[in-house]
Structure 1
Amino acid sequence: MQIKDVLLAPGNGAFFYDDQAAIGAGAIQDGFIYFGEPVTPGFKSIRVRASALSIGLVLTDDTVVWGDMMNVQYSGAGGRDPLFDVAQTSDLTSRVMTPRLLEVDASQYLDACAQVFKPCKQERLPLAVEYGVSQALLRAAGHLHRKTMAEVVCTEFDLPVPTSRVPIYCQSGDAREINVDKMILKAVDVLPHGLINSQRKFGVNGHTFMDFVKWVATRTRQIGRPGYHPVLHFDVYGWIGQEIGLEPQQIADFICRVADTVPGFTLNIECPADFGSTKAQIDNYARIVSILDDRGSSARIVVDERCNTLEDIRLFAEARAAHLIQIKTPDVGSLADTARAVLLCKENKVGAYVGGSCTETDLSAQASVHVSVATQADMMLAKPGMGVDEAFSIVGNEQNRLLATLKRHRAPTEDVG
């Protein structure tokens, strides 16, 4: 067997874990911290530094390949796994995962994932564990086959080797204006997210949000290079539903009004409302999508909350309960399931957005790029962190290096120079 030892190293995610319920309930922000009592189980304060755990697989040639485990920023919200705990995860990994990893054929990626991710005591493993271990296994398979991680995914899923880049989407965090300027100057494909996660940011009847949308479009025209025309993507964290109401017709009407303020732009609205359960989310989002399509609106609905696992994604895709599905990689678990999720979206003619979280690491971001490019997702998140520069550099450079490598692998072997 190709794995002879397993290493663990505590690490840092690139941002913070936040108690979404407490923030949504009106926690006061002071500088970078929030005052108030946490609401979501596991949080000792509303904002907690993001921890991670690295897992290294020592191969028989002494090469060590790594993957990183962590959870998403809003852990414990919308049906997600609870707050990440390094000590608990390290103990579980040592007891359960290490013996399994020492027995698998690491050159066979999907088979290895299937073996090591079997339930433990009839329960699914924590998704953070699946995520980190699947990254390390993908790197191991790439090393053993002398291929890129993307080529391993293509081989395992019988996909053609890609030639096209995947559009990159950046998020602004709270430093909206400065980061929007950075995104425009860097000609980011999709922008800016906006972090509209409170009533103050959304405004009475959504007026604050609408003003921000119009400002982003105007700023794009003012300082963007000639011909630059990004997709505008805003995450409103359910605030349309909270402020306007949970009637699909009213939500669709509001979204159409927003789209009308930025003619000529494609408008993505992520998480317009939270209907409280996966079934209710599917039923109501499907209605909103149908209304927007019937009107010929340029607006697109993006689902995030209540759509976490591969099974959730299948249900949303088959019901066409979104125009674009965020495949939130740490919530999906194994990167093999991220690949399956993209292909499932394509099969159902729904957009596939390989996302993730600001709490991730450089390693998890780079591995996500390979899966995104291999499966030709519709867009992928610049991650980790809440800054634009670092995330756009990590994801953009990895994609460019990958495409250059794939081009060389496709070229004739003889010397043409």
Structure 2
Amino acid sequence: MQIEAIHATPGYSGFFFDDQRAIKDGARQDGFTYDGEPVTDGFDEIRQAGETIVVDVELADRTVHRGDCAAVQYSGAGGRDPLFTAAEYAPVVEGPVAEALVGRDATDFLDNAELLEELQVEGDRLHTAIRYGVSQALLTAAAEARRTTKTDVLADALGAEPATEPVPVFGQSGDDRYTNAEKMFVKGVPVLPHALINSVEKIGRDGETLIEYVEWLVDRSQELGPDGYEPRFHVDVYGMIGELFGAPYDRDEVIDYFAAIEVAAAPYPIQIEGPMDAGGREDQIAAMVELREGLRSAGVDVDIVADEWCNTVEDVRAFVDAEAADFVQVKTPDLGGIHRSGQAVRYCEGTETQAYLGGTCNETETSARACAHVALATNAAQVLAKPGMGFDEGYMIVENEMRRTIARRKRDCTTTETDEITADD
């Protein structure tokens, strides 16, 4: 089935773009927005509306298949591509991208997605958001042309065996970290709450606010969770532990703080994402290795999760090879083509590092559904509920897409077995 045309329509994403450095530097919140001037290139405001490009891939049979270009909330930070604006990049999709893909066979998903990865415009690779969104549309087109699921197309492309049950979903609370966590407890969400600890105010001058919050999580989970509920806590601190203790920090003090986090979370496991931001990949890996080895030596059972400076497939491999983290976040928009996220998850297989298929609140329902298929195809350790910061919507989208796909695959398998028996008769 031939690709006939590719169309690009500017739209909105599920959240906002935030200037992370300005926020870390102390920008004060004014209601939902922030006072002050942005410091990261490309930003007009510290918080500005998230954007997307809706990509439509039209096939020869006149069917149209969609993907959404999206970039992370904290664009331009931690080694990521710059701020993504639809007006700037829509002409690239309808120009060089369309020229490269029109006329190709839509069933050749991996070849088409790899061509997109290698494509350059004026000597530069395409923005990660473009590769991400167009590859989603290519995946959907391939699945429809082959009359199968996106999970199966990805599994074939990656040489993977798909999961037979939904992958544990990780709920994110946004700043409403108490009310949204309570919603998660009531629904029995397996991994939670993210918590968005991105300022001194939220972690506490001495880290006490985070400890108190974790203690509250334990108490409320036991009060509100379903029978037999055993959550795994996952808190993203955006490098604030490193900010708290300064650099160079006293290793024993940091280990003691993690030990206090472990005690606060008991009897449940806890993982801390982005404990520090060392300013570059090699320095970040070295800092994470030192911390992980220190926690092991002290017998502190808190997992650490790589986020900052772990953006591309190559970055993921570097963190995994160095054994720098217990989990790596595969931050889907930052890897470009959606198959690259699958490749990153698969690289973790057989290592000491587990793959957390993440992304951002600033995606769309289309990209979130596509990522649910990556999670199933690779059987990732956990997958992020997205988009948005309201929790319920993102959880519904990702969880239901996985359940729907698993049910369809079971029906297809039963139908195939029945057909084979009939043919034998």
- Measured in 2, the distance between the counterparts of 1:412 and 1:402 equals 15
Counterpart secondary structure, 2:341: helix
Q: Please give the per-residue CA displacement for 1:244-291, whole angstroms capped at 9, x wherever unaligned.
A: 234355433311221112221111100111111100111110121122
- In the alignment, structure 1 segments of 5+ residues that lack a partner are none
Using a 3 Å threshold, how does the CA distance of structure 1 residues 115 and 327 change in structure 2: closer, same or farther? same
- Measured in 2, the distance between the counterparts of 1:361 and 1:412 equals 33
- Measured in 2, the distance between the counterparts of 1:411 and 1:293 equals 47
Equivalent residue, structure 1, for 2:175: 174
* Structure 1 position 298 matched with structure 2 position 301: yes
* Structure 1 position 49 matched with structure 2 position 52: no
- Measured in 2, the distance between the counterparts of 1:115 and 1:103 equals 13
- Measured in 2, the distance between the counterparts of 1:92 and 1:159 equals 33
- AA matched with 1:230: P
Equivalent residue, structure 2, for 1:394: 397
Equivalent residue, structure 2, for 1:78: 78
* 1:335-350 paired onto structure 2 within 5 Å: 335-350=338-353
- AA matched with 1:312: D
Equivalent residue, structure 2, for 1:110: 110
Counterpart secondary structure, 1:243: helix
* 1:17-416 paired onto structure 2 within 5 Å: 17-120=17-120, 121-246=122-247, 247=249, 248-413=251-416, 414=418
Using a 3 Å threshold, how does the CA distance of structure 1 residues 152 and 47 change in structure 2: closer, same or farther? same
Single out whichever of 100-109 and 203-212 deviates more from structure 2: 100-109
Aligned-pair CA distance for 1:412: 4.8
- In the alignment, structure 2 segments of 5+ residues that lack a partner are none
Please give the root-mean-square deviation of Cα atoms over the aligned residues, in Å: 1.4
Using a 3 Å threshold, how does the CA distance of structure 1 residues 154 and 236 change in structure 2: closer, same or farther? same
- Measured in 2, the distance between the counterparts of 1:183 and 1:190 equals 9
Q: Please give the per-residue CA displacement for 1:129-178, whole angstroms capped at 9, x wherever unaligned.
A: 10001100110110111010000011122222431220000111111111
Counterpart secondary structure, 2:90: helix
Counterpart secondary structure, 2:66: strand
- Measured in 2, the distance between the counterparts of 1:61 and 1:250 equals 64
Q: Please give the per-residue CA displacement for 1:26-69, whole angstroms capped at 9, x wherever unaligned.
A: 11112111111111111111110101001100011111001000
Using a 3 Å threshold, how does the CA distance of structure 1 residues 234 and 18 change in structure 2: closer, same or farther? same
- AA matched with 2:155: C
Counterpart secondary structure, 2:272: strand
- AA matched with 1:364: S
Q: Is the 8 A contact 2:205 2:244 kept in 1?
A: yes
Normalising by structure 2, we get a TM-score of: 0.95
- Measured in 2, the distance between the counterparts of 1:117 and 1:93 equals 13
Aligned-pair CA distance for 1:10: 1.2
Aligned-pair CA distance for 1:371: 0.6
- AA matched with 2:280: S
- AA matched with 2:46: I
Counterpart secondary structure, 1:252: helix
- Measured in 1, the distance between the counterparts of 2:210 and 2:361 equals 22
Q: Please give the per-residue CA displacement for 1:301-326, whole angstroms capped at 9, x wherever unaligned.
A: 00111110110000001111100000
Aligned-pair CA distance for 1:88: 1.3
- AA matched with 1:47: R
Counterpart secondary structure, 2:104: coil
Aligned-pair CA distance for 1:122: 3.3
- AA matched with 1:220: S
- Measured in 2, the distance between the counterparts of 1:293 and 1:150 equals 37
- Measured in 1, the distance between the counterparts of 2:162 and 2:70 equals 30
Q: Is the 8 A contact 1:285 1:322 kept in 2?
A: yes
Counterpart secondary structure, 1:411: helix
Q: Say how many residue pairs are matched.
A: 416
- AA matched with 1:259: E
- AA matched with 2:375: S
Single out whichever of 229-238 and 282-291 deviates more from structure 2: 282-291
Aligned-pair CA distance for 1:225: 1.8
Normalising by structure 1, we get a TM-score of: 0.97
